[in-house]
Every structure is written in C-alpha cells, then in structure tokens.
C-alpha cells in the first residue's frame, strides 16, 4: 500500500440530459457538461443527470461513472478521426467524475472513496457499448475501449451527499486489494475462461451482482458470451 494512490483532486463533476446522439437516430445521456457548483448525489446518481436506456445504464450499481482524464492523450493519438474538441476536455465518455492520477490500475473492486460529502463504493468496471461508436464517429470505438482496458468504472452510493469540482477523492477502505480493476478486466476480456479467476470473481461480494453472475455463467457453460449486441451498432 506504500505506493497506492489514496487521494486525488476531483477536476470536474459532469451531468447531462438525454439527447439525440449524432446521426444515429438514437438518444443517449452520454453528452455531459461540467457543473460549477456542488451537485447532490443520491442512490441513483447525480441530480440533473439522465440515461436513455435504463435497462443497461444507470441504477444503484451504476450510479456514478468515473473516467480517468489520464487516458485522453492516448485516445487523441489512437482515434485521430474523432472530433478534436471532443477529447480536449472531460466529458467525452459520459463520465460524471474526472480526475488525473487514478486509473483502472489504482482502483480496486469494493473500494470506498469519500467524494465531497458523499461516500462511494466501486461496484464494477464499465462495459463499453455501441453508443461510443457514434459518439466518436468510429465504428469500432466500443471494441477499442474494451480491448484497451481504459474503460472507466462505476460507483454505488453508500452515503448520499454533494460533490463539487475541487473536492478531494479520498480512499477510506480497500476490502479487496488483490483485485484492481485492471485485473478484473483482464480476466473478463483477455484470459476469458480462466476458471480460477472466474471463481474468485464470482465470490467478490463487493462486485455488482451482474458481473458476478456473468462469471458464474462462464464457469457453468465454459463459453464466453457474445459481445456483438453490446459493442456493434444496431445499424452496422
């Protein structure tokens, strides 16, 4: 733990309404903008924030989305076809919180973090979906995000409160130090049928029920689920 990141500044708190997404004809809440004043956060997320597809987005296990601004330079290099203004500032990935100095290698499953007056717990990594393809005008952007491991992550809200840009994000407790999100992502997307890893993931009580269930299904069936419906645009 001597080299662990235990505190960073929250550089931006972002929310947004549901709106049309590019030329796709779909609606999404992925376009979010920074707020200059404290934003209330409850069990289902931040005040003023919205999601179009409540089956796959939002809810208590995905109440707050955090994306590392550390990754933006890499995406500017890797996706030159994207609108440069999109990656010039936080908000490109639909995140609610933006920071520097904290990535999937530093965050662990079940971490409890104090954000402003709220207490958040890391519930799962983000599973990229096809709306990123439209957001970035790149047909395989969702697959790129998944393969890169630069996915971002979600929190559940343990104690409601308020969060503002300039607040500190402080680690309170780390129940699963052996499970940084980078390891979780590798188990799901690289070493996809590592039975020992899947069994351990299924037993992680702090991990969201949907991810634990996915690990159990792989164990039971011995096959990897089809990612195409999630990653590929319906009209592709």
The string of pLDDT tens digits covering residues 50-76 is 876 656 667 899 999 999 999 999 999
Q: How far is CA 203 from the centre of its chain?
A: 21
In three-state secondary structure terms, 78 is helix
Spans in the chain with pLDDT lower than 50: 1-2
E strands, 10-102, where? 12-15, 19-20, 27-28, 33-34, 39-42, 45-46, 64-68, 97-99
pLDDT number for residue 236:
52
Tokens of 104: 């999937």
């Amino acid at each position: 733990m001597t080299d662990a990141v235990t505190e960073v500044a929250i550089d931006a708190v972002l929310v947004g309404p549901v709106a049309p997404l590019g030329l796709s004809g779909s609606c999404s809440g992925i376009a979010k903008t920074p707020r200059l004043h404290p934003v209330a956060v409850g069990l289902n997320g931040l005040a003023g924030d919205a999601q179009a597809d409540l089956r796959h987005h939002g809810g208590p296990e995905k109440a707050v989305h955090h994306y590392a601004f550390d990754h933006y330079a890499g995406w500017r290099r890797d996706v030159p076809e994207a609108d440069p203004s999109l990656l010039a500032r936080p908000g490109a990935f639909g995140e609610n919180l933006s920071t520097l100095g904290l990535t999937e290698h530093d965050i662990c499953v079940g971490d409890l973090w104090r954000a402003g007056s709220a207490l958040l717990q890391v519930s799962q990594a983000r599973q990229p979906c096809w709306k990123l393809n439209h957001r970035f005008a790149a047909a395989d952007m969702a697959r790129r995000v998944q393969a890169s491991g630069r996915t971002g992550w979600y929190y559940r809200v343990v104690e409601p409160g308020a969060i503002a840009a300039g607040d500190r994000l402080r680690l309170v407790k780390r129940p699963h130090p052996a499970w940084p999100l980078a390891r979780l992502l590798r188990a799901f997307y690289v070493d996809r049928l590592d039975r020992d890893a899947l069994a351990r993931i299924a037993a992680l009580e702090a991990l969201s029920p949907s991810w634990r269930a996915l690990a159990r299904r792989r164990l039971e069936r011995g096959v990897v689920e089809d990612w195409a419906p999630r990653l590929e645009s319906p009209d592709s």
